[in-house]
Amino acid sequence: MHTRRLALAALLAGGMLAVGIMAVMQEKPVDPVRTMPTPPPSDSARSDGLARCRTVTEADPDCAALWEAERRRFFGQGKLPTSERTSRAGSDE
């Protein structure tokens, strides 16, 4: 009686091991190489300006404006809020 239980347990364990090995072998390999997308050619002037501003050690208003524009572009705040647009549009008339 104990022999049958032992054989059944071994068979069950072997089956579970085989299923586990098959599952691991069927996993798709992960692509370890990821490339960064190259910026469009129109961004080269902006990139050159940012590269220059990275090395500036004194306060430079041009660099401050460039970094502010880059933050707005990165965070998707490139357009003025509606309230600022309407107040500026009314002042031009």
Q: Is residue 21 part of a domain?
A: no
Hey, how many other C-beta atoms are within 10 angstroms of the C-beta on 41?
7
Contact 73, 50 (CB under 8 A): no
Residue 90 has pLDDT above 60, yes or no: no
Hey, how many other C-beta atoms are within 10 angstroms of the C-beta on 62?
11
Q: How many domains does the chain have?
A: 1
Q: Is residue 59 part of a domain?
A: yes
The residue written with tokens 């998707």 in the block is 76
Q: Is residue 53 part of a domain?
A: yes
Which of 80 and 57 is assigned the larger pLDDT?
57
Q: Is residue 11 part of a domain?
A: no
Domain that holds residue 78: 44-93
pLDDT attached to residue 93: 41
What residue spans of 1-93 are helical by DSSP H?
A: 2-25, 44-54, 61-74, 82-92
Q: Is residue 36 part of a domain?
A: no
Q: Is residue 80 part of a domain?
A: yes
Pairwise CA distance, residues 89 & 45, whole Å: 30
Residue 51 has pLDDT above 70, yes or no: yes
pLDDT attached to residue 9: 92
